[in-house]
Amino acid sequence: MWELNKMDNLELALQKAFINKETLGDELTPKFIVNNPKKHDYLLNTLSKDLKSCKTFFIAVAFITPSGLNAIKTQLADLALRGISGKILTSTYLNFNDPHVFRALLNIPNVEVRVSKKEGFHSKGYLFEMEDYQSFVIGSSNLTMSALKLNYEWNVRLTSRENGEMVSSIQKHLIQEWHEAQSLTLEWVDAFEKNYHPIVNRKMLVQDVSENECLDTQYILPNSMQKEALRSLKALRETGATKGMIVSATGTGKTYLAAFDVQQFHPKRVLFIVHSELILMKALESFKLILGGKDDDYGVLSGNSKNFDAKYLFGTIQTVSKSEYQERLGKEAFDYILIDEVHKAGAKSYIKAIEFFNPKFLLGMTATPERTDNFNIFELFDYNVAYEIRLQAALEAELLCPFYYFGVTDYEKDGEIIDETTDLKRLLQKERVDFLIKKINYYGYSGDSPRGLVFCSRKDEARQLAEMFNDRGIPSAYLSGDHNFDKREKEIKRLDTGEIHYIFTVDIFNEGIDIPKVNQVIMLRNTQSSIIFIQQLGRGLRKDPSKEFVTVIDFIGNYKNNYMIPMALSGDSSQTKNSLRRDTIDVTYISGLSSINFEKVARERIFKSIDQAKLDAMSELKASYFKLKNRLNRVPYLNDFQVLDGVDPLLIIGKEKTYYNFLERIGETEAKLSEEENGALKFVSVELLSGIRPHELYVIEEFLMTDKEQLSLEEITALFDTFNLTYTTDTLASVVKVLDLSFYESTIRKRYLLSQMFKMKENCLQITEKFREFKKNSYFINLMLDVIHTGINKSMEYDLSQPLNLYKKYRRKDVLRLLNMNFNQNEQSIGGYTNSNNHFAIFVTLDKGKDFKAARIAYEDEFIDERTFHWYTKAPRNLRSPEVQLLRNPGEYKFHLFVKRKYNQKENETDFYYLGEVAPLQETIQQVEKQDKEGKKKSVVKLDFTLETPVEPNMYEFLTQNTN
């Protein structure tokens, strides 16, 4: 058991950093910081954490880019709400900082900015004043996104008390520099802009934007995605395939890819089918750039043009699907046909066109092949997905323009929050429009002027908001499906040239529109689906020399579907609340120069939506099942969900107990299981599928895959060695007890006895007669192996060298199993804690709510801070109670803290986050009296624990929101 001595935490931190790395450390420990994109470990993470918890800050950097400033804007906005302000000292060194970034700095209300007059000002330092110490980061990183996330930079984070010589020296120097610097004012920026000449080699100093490919009309080369896809398409055709699909994120160059593939296929005639004339003309121009040839080689077949003879024919589906035009063209007219936005191909018009024509090769292209009506697009193309690259991978490959997503708080007045039922009058309040404009200006854009698409919830809102923006001097337009092609083309051109700044719409720009200069995407609507969210975000992701990044501003109201936001941004389709909460808290998963930020209140609204969502509803699980079945062209197994990033298998098992039950429920079973066979499947699924300890799974697999009927303890340990599993003699004993059911308390044991597979006899684990019979059913073996392989795959999410992993979630009975405790108690009897085998496990629900009946006393368990937890024993207890004696004299005992944020009776959510080992602070142990529900006084003991590892800031914020 680790213990804290009386040494000051800072002294311990310094000892760990400079004397002995084995010493216990915490947030005060000096840290060497190098950006590590593979581990999503960035300097930005450190700065964000310090900003969240500081009382004030002082940033001194030579260079600032709009993208670097964007990376901390939500944190600054949250600080402003708490009345916290800070200072930024920067420079005009090398003319790197442009007028645009100085204007952006002026727009941040809680930051005072000054410009150093010193020649060659090249500092890079970040100072934060905390409650009882200072932290400062010094090194090579300016406030640019490349320096914060990608570049190979060296930085050191140090901490100090206010009387420390180093921090005093830094503060003294900064104050002196501050007094000598020029205050940043609008007049100063105007004067600076008149004489500003941008440096030619700025990108040599900071690489904040991936180079765009030169669109030389004479010579365009495929990008990395296109090269790989072209190879795959060629290989696919060499197998004799006549159909194929490309799944590629918006903006990665699907149209150019199609032209390159036509070039390598050498067809006599080509038909390119689209759903909109706007896309049609863009596609034609792209093909001309790649393929060249005479103008009359290219033709259009649409409502406005009737060319039937061109070599490269571009047609709208509305025209191509008409029988009269099909007959005129003929079935064999084209040897290569391409369908853009092929996820629409479930419509009758597309089916009609596909069934009529007989090309040598049919190519479908889409960014989102999934449909909500269960129509199988994959089947339409013989399940031939030649190439697939989704948003995250495309960003990592630098195929898309970086985006900065800001989840911001929508307008609130007198406690009323915008939601799905808000009437139009409130949406169009003058105060709300002023609020929107202020937020839009705060988060800014990249380029010479804003060019934004604004997605609204209804047509009247979009039309009137456009008018109100115009009234405020912000040139805007409104477009809907009611407008014709010419009107849409006109307004898009005006946006492209900068004549207007915004187009307000509802959904006509969800897909199939290409405006590369779009530098803002603004969402003023409820998120209806992850697919639509990504489609709308994708409108700004196409690279263009006019912008370094696209700003995405999502105004988050009190919407039921807010949980879809982290689902869409992360690409997480597991549908587990734990994952969605994690994706909202820890947003470092986004690749490259892009970033995701949520304002605090907006984040809380997402958490509320996640809490209320029914993600395990049978309709959701069934839809996910058929989506995967459509992709695989067979009945999917649990492991398919696991390895193909589908719904978390635990969600299905939590709902139906076995995958067989689930398949039976939706009419998809392939054979029959007896009740006892299904019971054995239930045992492994419910108790072992999580993969927190795969040892039992490997043992069961050994019996399933061989003719062995018993394994000695030595053979079991040899099996563990084969798979490099960590174990002790206690682990071995625990594994055996789990498998022969002796680990379980009587109620659970009775549940599985009729299907018991193993028994312990003569120091060997033997199979039962029932298991011998089960093995005769091949369907049982398939389903059991599926659960085993799924659990083993899930075990890879854990560090198996230690029984418990920080911030992972565990059930009470999982903890008892992992700590090799001697018995499994009824979960109700465990309650708040249990102890055995030198382990003391403490389970706390912070927000117990009105429905929490597990405790007769309203315990006030709570965090004091990230490292200290206030806790009460059960009642009645006094200083002489056995467990209190353990707390006062721990000896070899290890204390483990597991915390759940909220009690949810409807969902019976039994998992707790593991926060590590804790140590009882002896001086805080005190016997007190608390009233029970009947008003009677009961004796309890209260104390504080110190956490070995301070709770990570994002996790701390999540656990304590609305509880302290």
The pLDDT score that the predictor gives to residue 382 is: 95
Phi, psi of 606 (to 5 degrees): -70, -45
Write the CA distances from 725 to 135, 694, 697, 720, 801, integer angstroms: 41, 8, 12, 5, 8
The pLDDT score that the predictor gives to residue 19 is: 54
The pLDDT score that the predictor gives to residue 217 is: 41
Q: What is the DSSP string of 498-511?
A: TS-SEEEESSTTSS
Q: Which of 173, 176, 58, 171 is nearest to 113 (CA)?
A: 58
Give me 377's structure tokens.
């697009």
Give the C-alpha separation, 773 to 365, whole Å: 50
Q: Per-residue pLDDT for 65 more than 90?
A: yes
Give the C-alpha separation, 66 to 443, whole Å: 9
Give me 176's structure tokens.
């002196």
The residue-averaged pLDDT of 580-596 equals: 85
pLDDT in tens, 868-892: 999 999 999 999 999 999 999 999 9
First to last CA, the chain: 29
Is there a contact between 935 and 920 (Cβ–Cβ < 8 Å)?
no
The pLDDT score that the predictor gives to residue 328 is: 96
Return the minimum-mean-pLDDT range out of 58-67, 158-167, 224-233, 560-569: 158-167
The pLDDT score that the predictor gives to residue 206 is: 42
Phi, psi of 531 (to 5 degrees): -65, -50
Q: How confident is the model at residue 204 (pLDDT cuts 50, 70, 90)?
A: very low
Buried/exposed code over 371-405 (b: 16+ C-beta within 10 A; e: otherwise): beeeebbbebbebbbbbebbbbbbbebbbbbbbbb
Q: Per-residue pLDDT for 1 more than 70?
A: no
Q: How confident is the model at residue 420 (pLDDT cuts 50, 70, 90)?
A: confident
Give the C-alpha separation, 836 to 326, whole Å: 78
Is there a contact between 883 and 833 (Cβ–Cβ < 8 Å)?
yes
pLDDT in tens, 524-533: 999 888 888 9
Task: Tell me the residue length of the chain.
Answer: 964
Give the C-alpha separation, 747 to 73, whole Å: 54
Q: Per-residue pLDDT for 201 more than 80?
A: no
Identify the residue whose tokens are 């800031």: 953
The pLDDT score that the predictor gives to residue 823 is: 66
The residue-averaged pLDDT of 577-586 equals: 85
Phi, psi of 730 (to 5 degrees): -65, -40
The pLDDT score that the predictor gives to residue 463 is: 97
The pLDDT score that the predictor gives to residue 649 is: 97
In three-state secondary structure terms, 127 is strand
Please state, as a whole number, how many other Cβ atoms lie within 10 Å of the Cβ of residue 293: 11
Residues of the chain with pLDDT > 90: what percent? 69
Write the CA distances from 7 to 11, 14, 15, integer angstroms: 6, 11, 10
pTM here?
0.86
The pLDDT score that the predictor gives to residue 15 is: 63
pLDDT in tens, 822-860: 666 666 667 789 999 999 999 999 987 665 555 556 678
Buried/exposed code over 563-600 (b: 16+ C-beta within 10 A; e: otherwise): bbbbbbbbbbbbbbbbbbbbbbbbbbebbbbbbbbbbb
Residue 587 DSSP class: -
Residue 323 DSSP class: H
Give the C-alpha separation, 709 to 761, whole Å: 12
Give me 882's structure tokens.
């056995």
The contacts of residue 584 (CB under 8 Å, 6+ apart) are 565, 566, 598, 603, 606, 607, 610
Identify the residue whose tokens are 């490292």: 867
Give me 774's structure tokens.
């089960």
Q: Per-residue pLDDT for 414 more than 90?
A: no
pLDDT in tens, 715-767: 999 999 999 999 999 999 999 999 999 999 888 899 999 999 999 999 999 99
In three-state secondary structure terms, 693 is coil
Most confident of 202-211, 313-322, 361-370, 574-583: 313-322
More confident residue, 652 or 37: 652
Q: What is the phi-psi region of residue 32: left when phi exceeds 0, alpha when psi lies from -120 to 50, beta otherwise?
A: beta
Give the C-alpha separation, 241 to 384, whole Å: 8
Q: Which of 128, 131, 148, 130 is nearest to 139 (CA)?
A: 148
Give me 21's structure tokens.
């790395």
Is there a contact between 82 and 172 (Cβ–Cβ < 8 Å)?
no
918 strand-pairing partners: 895, 947
Peptide bond into 475 cis (omega under 30): no
pLDDT in tens, 772-786: 999 999 999 999 999
Strand 336-339 with 270-274, pairing: parallel
Give me 56's structure tokens.
């004030």
271 strand-pairing partners: 313, 337
pLDDT in tens, 894-941: 999 999 987 765 555 678 999 999 999 999 999 999 887 778 899 999
The pLDDT score that the predictor gives to residue 278 is: 79
The pLDDT score that the predictor gives to residue 372 is: 61
Write the CA distances from 924 to 24, 276, 835, 887, integer angstroms: 22, 71, 21, 11
Phi, psi of 325 (to 5 degrees): -80, -35
Residue 857 DSSP class: B
pLDDT in tens, 108-164: 999 999 999 998 899 999 999 998 889 999 999 999 999 999 899 999 998 888 778
Cα 394 off chain centre by: 16
Give the C-alpha separation, 800 to 745, whole Å: 26
Give the C-alpha separation, 283 to 292, whole Å: 13
H or E element, residue 609: helix 600-612
Phi, psi of 348 (to 5 degrees): -60, -40
Domains parsed from the chain with CATH numbers: 34-205 (3.30.870.10), 224-389 (3.40.50.300), 408-612 (3.40.50.300), 663-795 (no CATH), 809-960 (2.30.280)
Q: Per-residue pLDDT for 34 more than 60?
A: yes
Half-sphere exposure of 225 (CA within 13 A, CB side): 26
Strand residue runs (E) in 772-902: 809-810, 833-836, 839-847, 862-865, 868-872, 894-902
If you average pLDDT over every residue of the chain, what do you get? 90
36 strand-pairing partners: 41
Q: Which of 552, 564, 568, 528 is nearest to 420 (CA)?
A: 528
Strand residue runs (E) in 531-686: 550-556, 595-598
503 strand-pairing partners: 453, 477
The pLDDT score that the predictor gives to residue 181 is: 97
Q: How confident is the model at residue 211 (pLDDT cuts 50, 70, 90)?
A: very low
Give the C-alpha separation, 227 to 250, whole Å: 17
In three-state secondary structure terms, 906 is coil
